[in-house]
Amino acid sequence: MTRLRVLILFLVLGALAAYPGWRALHGTAVPHAEASAEVPQTVADFVVTPERWQSTLKAFGQVRAVQGADLSSQVAGIVDEIDFQSGQEVKAGAVLLRLRLYDDTAKLAQLNALVALWTANMARDQKQFDVQAISRATLDLDLANLRNYQAQAQAQAQAMDEKIVRAPFAGKLGIRQVDLGQYLPPGTAVTSLQALDPIYVDFNVSQQQIGEIVPGHVVQVAVDTWPGRVFEATVQASDSRIDPQSRMVTVRASLPNKDHALLPGMFAIVHLDLGRPATVLAIPQAAISFNPYGNFVYVLTKRPDRKDGYVATSRVVVTGEARDSRVVVTSGLQAGELVVGAGQLKLRNGASVVIDNTVRPDAPSPADPVNE
């Protein structure tokens, strides 16, 4: 019996807690006689009208250089010469830094001298071999010595060249990370080099949306560094695989960047138009109210007993795509109906209201100056 009483008590309390929400959606409007006795609430209205709507895909991505690298020396050494400035524009192959050569130049000269000597010996021996004055073995030995010194000279020249850091491509240099006289271990970053025009924007879309994106599609790119400025990029390609963890695929778009307004690593917001514009019913997002039973709006109907009076009736709606401050209503409203756009937080189903659009959040304040 005790368990039964506790169960009945919980059922009664649950019914009492759920009643207000059920009444808000399914309750009947208060009779006009009762509504006339209460103080009308002031709200702003919005007329539901058809409008052209372009469905868009919003994605988040990152700006990436077409070519970018952190430049470093392949070998260790002392910085002997720095031939660039931070932020400088350079061409491909430009010399940026040289390490101290020590006796490398002398070694190369010594090897070049040996190459010249054995080249002369080889020429004399070839003449003697032609008249059969020396054996073929002697000629082959001279040729081997010549090729050996030629290879050593080439290796020495290559070792000296590795002490020079050059720009592998044209672009803009970053901040200089080294100083004259500094010892550089192999692989130590000297500076960064980024090719900034054109530039890439990589963004992620879900696997359901990848079919909407094809190469050549134009997308709009925005970054918070430049508020109000929109960059147009062209889709180049999408990744050949989908991330098994996020089920997202990376898409790459390219755009011109002559003024270098976009830099690698910037966070970007990408908007992509999907399909053709359609006629829809869209209302302000502020007009939508929420409760455990779903989304609803307050629809206004004229009161016959008051010239300026209306009755607010809650109605369940189904919403679709949202953008900025507006949302598409796919079910629940018809064109020409009047809905509450602001002030609905103080309403209940069947409440008496009057319309005053000066309470709309975007309405100008009476104290604001008038632009002429």
In this predicted model, what pLDDT tens digit does every residue of 1-19 receive, in sequence order?
Answer: 566 665 666 666 666 655 5
Domain membership of residue 238 as a residue range: 57-66+196-273
Of 201, 240, 211, which is closest to residue 57 (Cα–Cα)? Answer: 211
User: Domain of 132: which CATH number?
Assistant: 1.10.287
Domain edge (last residue) among 273, 305, 337: 273
**Residue 71 included in any domain:** no
Cβ-based neighbour number of residue 262 at 10 Å: 26
How far is it, in rounded angstroms, from Cα 217 to Cα 163?
A: 46
Question: What pLDDT was estimated at residue 93?
Answer: 87
**Residue 347 included in any domain:** yes
How far is it, in rounded angstroms, from Cα 266 to Cα 203?
A: 12
Question: What pLDDT was estimated at residue 338?
Answer: 84
**Residue 109 included in any domain:** yes
**Residue 85 included in any domain:** no
* Residue 352 burial (10 A CB sphere; 0-12, 13-18, 19+): buried
Residues 297 and 255 in one domain: no
**Residue 246 included in any domain:** yes
Residues 283 and 257 in one domain: no
Question: What pLDDT was estimated at residue 17?
Answer: 59
**266, two tokens:** 């910037």
Distance in Å from the first CA to the final CA of the chain: 79
Question: What pLDDT was estimated at residue 73?
Answer: 86
Of 30, 33, 42, 29, which is closest to residue 308 (Cα–Cα)? Answer: 42
Q: How many residues does the chain have?
A: 372
Contacts of 163 (CB under 8 A, 6+ apart): 73, 75, 77, 98, 99, 100, 101, 104
Whether the CB-CB separation of 43 and 309 falls below 8 Å is answered with no
Question: What pLDDT was estimated at residue 21?
Answer: 57
Residues 310 and 253 in one domain: no
How far is it, in rounded angstroms, from Cα 94 to Cα 170?
A: 9
Question: How far are the Cα atoms of 30, 197, 275, 323 from residue 230, in angstroms, in the given order?
Answer: 51, 17, 21, 17
How far is it, in rounded angstroms, from Cα 16 to Cα 71?
A: 71
**Residue 339 included in any domain:** yes
Domain edge (last residue) among 273, 295, 323: 273
Task: Give pLDDT tens digits along the chain (372 positions).
Answer: 566 665 666 666 666 655 555 555 554 444 444 444 567 878 888 888 888 877 778 888 999 998 888 888 888 888 888 888 888 888 998 899 999 888 888 888 888 888 888 888 888 878 887 778 778 888 888 888 889 988 998 998 888 888 888 898 998 999 998 888 889 898 888 889 999 989 999 998 888 878 778 888 888 899 988 888 889 999 988 888 888 888 888 999 999 999 888 999 999 988 887 777 778 888 888 888 877 777 888 888 887 766 667 888 888 888 887 777 788 888 888 888 888 888 777 778 888 888 877 766 554 444 343 333
Residues 260 and 295 in one domain: no
Long-range Cβ contact pairs of 240-247 (< 8 A, separation 24 or more): 242/207, 242/210, 246/204, 247/206, 247/207
Overall domain count for the chain: 3
Question: What pLDDT was estimated at residue 80?
Answer: 86
Residues 200 and 257 in one domain: yes
For 288-339, the pLDDT digits (tens) are: 887 777 788 888 888 776 666 788 888 888 888 777 778 888 888 888 888 8
Domain edge (last residue) among 273, 301, 323: 273
**Residue 4 included in any domain:** no
